[in-house]
């Protein structure tokens, strides 16, 4: 296996958690990284820390024009786009009966439209070059429905289906679904239901650190062009 990843990799949601850990992991392997999120101060600090192979740009994944501008800027900075990691996500969990419709909309906008906007921004380029790799961060919530998580799980089932559809439609484009179990990050810090916020603290007692997911992403990227790692599920061993 090559130690150096000679690719330009775009990562959404790179300002914290799994995205930030993936930037660190891939920067250590020589990849050129173009990183996006809304909290640009964090991106700027990360890029300054990691050096010239890491560049940043503001990105709101819910806005198709913002995603298109992000990909254009990446191409202008590094000359090409090889990999898109759709990692940005939100998880304001609540039971359906709470009718938190604004939170449902936000989850669908970020977790589903965000992924579609990313695919739309890179797909014409990948088709033209007959090459490219889309990595979508789904979840174990793409495989079963958890309590008070109907809408979040629905968004992750959608990410799974979209990724599988992309795989079926293109022989030249690699697709990878990354499905983490519980990871200790900022995800869910915006949960407004006190009982669920407290339950999340309990779930996190058996959690991974984000670098575990970053290594799984690196593994998918390191494979030769003809090898397509279609899904990786990573759980804490203690989760059972
Ligand atoms: P974090 O909250 O630490 O990171 C989420 C990232 O998404 C942030 O960088 C945030 O950046 C970004 N983001 C949110 N909304 C937008 C937006 N509109 N536009 C651009 N970026 C946005 O959580 P994680 O690292 O845990 O989450 C990363 C992914 O992993 C998510 O898709 C999540 O669903 C998935 N996941 C996480 C698990 C966990 O247990 N932590 C388990 C399974 C899957 P900013 O606010 O600066 O825009």
Cβ of 59 below 6 Å from ligand 1: yes
Output the residue whose Cα is nearest ligand 1's atom 39: 183
> Does residue 239 sit within a domain?
no
Distance (Å, whole) CA 140 – CA 146: 10
> Does residue 238 sit within a domain?
no
| Mean pLDDT of all residues in 118-138 | 98
Q: By the 8 A CB rule, do 229 and 223 touch?
A: yes
> Does residue 3 sit within a domain?
no
For ligand 1, the distance from its centroid to the CA atom of residue 1, given in whole angstroms, is 30
Tally of CB atoms within 10 A around 135? 25
Total domains in the chain come to 1
Read off the pLDDT band of 62 (50, 70, 90).
very high
Cβ of 130 below 6 Å from ligand 1: no
CATH number at residue 97: 3.40.50.720
> Does residue 240 sit within a domain?
no
Q: Which atom of ligand 1 is nearest to the CA of 21?
A: 25
Distance (Å, whole) CA 113 – CA 119: 10
Q: What is the ipTM of this complex?
A: 0.99
For ligand 1, the distance from its centroid to the CA atom of residue 35, given in whole angstroms, is 13
CA 90 to chain centre: 11
151-190 per-position pLDDT tens digit? 999 999 999 999 999 999 999 999 999 999 999 999 999 9
Cβ of 180 below 6 Å from ligand 1: yes
> Does residue 108 sit within a domain?
yes
Read off the pLDDT band of 4 (50, 70, 90).
confident
Q: Among 47, 89, 162, which residue has the most ligand 1 atoms within 8 Å of its CB, making it the best to mutate?
A: 89
What pLDDT shows up at residue 157? 98
> Does residue 54 sit within a domain?
yes
Cβ of 235 below 6 Å from ligand 1: no
- Percent of residues, the chain, with pLDDT higher than 70: 98
What pLDDT shows up at residue 240? 64
List the helix and strand counts (H, then E) for the chain.
8, 7
193-240 per-position pLDDT tens digit? 999 999 999 989 999 999 999 999 999 999 999 999 999 999 999 976
Q: By the 8 A CB rule, do 7 and 31 touch?
A: yes
For ligand 1, the distance from its centroid to the CA atom of residue 18, given in whole angstroms, is 7
Q: Is the pLDDT of residue 1 over 60?
A: no
77-116 per-position pLDDT tens digit? 999 999 999 999 999 999 999 999 999 999 999 999 999 9
For ligand 1, the distance from its centroid to the CA atom of residue 238, given in whole angstroms, is 23
Q: Rounded to 5 degrees, what angle do the CA atoms 139, 33, 26 make?
A: 60
Q: Is 152 a catalytic residue?
A: yes
Output the residue whose Cα is nearest ligand 1's atom 12: 13
Output the average pLDDT for the chain.
97
> Does residue 27 sit within a domain?
yes
Q: Is the pLDDT of residue 13 over 70?
A: yes
Range of the domain at 30: 8-233
For ligand 1, the distance from its centroid to the CA atom of residue 73, given in whole angstroms, is 22
Q: Which residues of 80-95 are buried (b: 16+ CB within 10 A; e: fewer)?
A: ebbbbbbbbbbbbbbe
Classify burial at 220, counting beta carbons within 10 Å of its beta carbon; exposed 0-12, middle 13-18, buried 19 or more: buried
Q: Is the pLDDT of residue 126 over 90?
A: yes
Q: Which atom of ligand 1 is nearest to the CA of 208?
A: 40
Which residues have C-beta within 8 Å of that of residue 226, sequence separation ≥ 6? none
In degrees to the nearest 10, what's the CA dihedral of 68, 70, 75, 76? Answer: 110
């Amino acid at each position: 296996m090559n130690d150096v990843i000679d690719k330009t990799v775009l990562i959404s949601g790179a300002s914290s958690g799994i995205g930030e850990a993936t930037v660190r992991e891939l920067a250590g392997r020589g990849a050129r990284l173009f990183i996006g999120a809304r909290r640009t101060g964090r991106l700027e600090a990360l890029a300054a820390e990691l050096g010239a192979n890491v560049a940043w740009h503001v990105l709101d994944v819910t806005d198709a024009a913002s995603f298109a501008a992000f990909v254009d800027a990446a191409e202008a900075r590094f000359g090409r786009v090889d990999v898109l990691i759709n990692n940005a996500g939100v998880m304001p969990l609540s039971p359906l009966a709470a009718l938190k419709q604004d939170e449902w909309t936000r989850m669908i906008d970020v977790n589903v439209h965000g992924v579609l906007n990313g695919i739309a921004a890179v797909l014409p380029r990948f088709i033209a070059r007959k090459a490219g790799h889309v990595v979508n961060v789904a979840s174990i919530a793409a495989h079963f429905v958890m309590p008070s998580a109907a809408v979040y799980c629905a968004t992750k089932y959608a990410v799974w289906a979209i990724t599988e559809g992309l795989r079926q439609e293109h022989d030249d484009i690699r697709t990878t679904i990354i499905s983490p179990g519980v990871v200790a990050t900022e995800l869910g810090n915006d949960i407004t239901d006190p009982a669920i916020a407290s339950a999340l603290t309990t779930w996190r007692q058996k959690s991974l650190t984000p670098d575990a997911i970053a290594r799984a992403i690196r593994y998918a990227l390191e494979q030769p062009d003809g090898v397509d790692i279609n899904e990786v599920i990573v759980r804490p061993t203690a989760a059972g």
